[in-house]
Amino acid sequence: MPTSISWEAYLTQRGGEKSSADKLIRVDQNVKGSKRQIQRCIQDMNAAIRALVAGATIWKEDAKNQTLKQYIVCNDAAWKMNDKFEFLGQLLTQFNGLRSEEEVDGAYEKEIEDCVTGKEPEVTRATAEWEEISANFVEKMNNPPDKTPATVEAAVTDETESNTEGKESSKDQTSYRPREVLTIQDGITYLQSWKKTYREPCSSPT
């Protein structure tokens, strides 16, 4: 499975997958074919149990291992384990309807019944353990942290700084008044006013 798969895509893919019982139960099956399917199902179930145990061990060893990639490995193993266990029960029911009254078939049926009975506690325990240790990860993936408050706070800060800069700029512009251009009449009036206030120093007496 690609490691780049997203959480949503994985859930969609897993949710749309059919069980082995839905895909592999044959209505035209015979005793020989039924036995072959049963043996293959037991092999797949045991392989899934080993994969789940190994994957869960890695998961619990270090928080750094609790990644989506590792979750998919463990969860797929857990799903396959339960799928094959359920499939085995249905295959056993099918075999019961197909088998002959010969002792060999009766002994085989008893063997598979014992296998199902013996595996049930192991499958139940492994499933419960995985569901427990993965609960926090599933919660985190289904409810990612809300980043909206931080975004809003940053936006408010930016707006406040912008308003402050605008006020300072307005203040500067208000205190600064560009020099006005004087008309000729203004110049004459100003010169006359300046002469009235200015007096030349008295000359020394001769």
Nearest in space to 98 (alpha carbons), one of 6, 30, 44:
30
The pLDDT confidence band at residue 147, using thresholds 50, 70 and 90, is low
Q: What is the pLDDT of residue 156?
A: 47
pLDDT digit string (tens) for 87-109? 999 999 999 999 888 899 999 99
Is the pLDDT score of 47 beyond 50? yes
Is the pLDDT score of 23 beyond 70? yes
Is the pLDDT score of 163 beyond 80? no
Q: What is the pLDDT of residue 185?
A: 52
The pLDDT confidence band at residue 8, using thresholds 50, 70 and 90, is confident
Q: What is the pLDDT of residue 174?
A: 45
The pLDDT confidence band at residue 205, using thresholds 50, 70 and 90, is very low
What structural domains does the chain harbor?
31-145 (1.20.58)
- What's the mean pLDDT when you consider all of the chain? 78
Is the pLDDT score of 125 beyond 70? yes
Q: What is the pLDDT of residue 149?
A: 52
* H helix intervals, the chain: 7-15, 20-24, 31-61, 68-98, 103-142, 148-175, 184-197
pLDDT digit string (tens) for 27-46? 889 999 999 999 999 999 99
Q: What is the pLDDT of residue 21?
A: 87
What is the CB neighbour count within 10 angstroms for residue 17? 13
Report the 3 state secondary structure along 162-206: HHHHHHHHHHHHHHCCCCCCCCHHHHHHHHHHHHHHCCCCCCCCC
**Which tokens belong to 197?**
């206030």
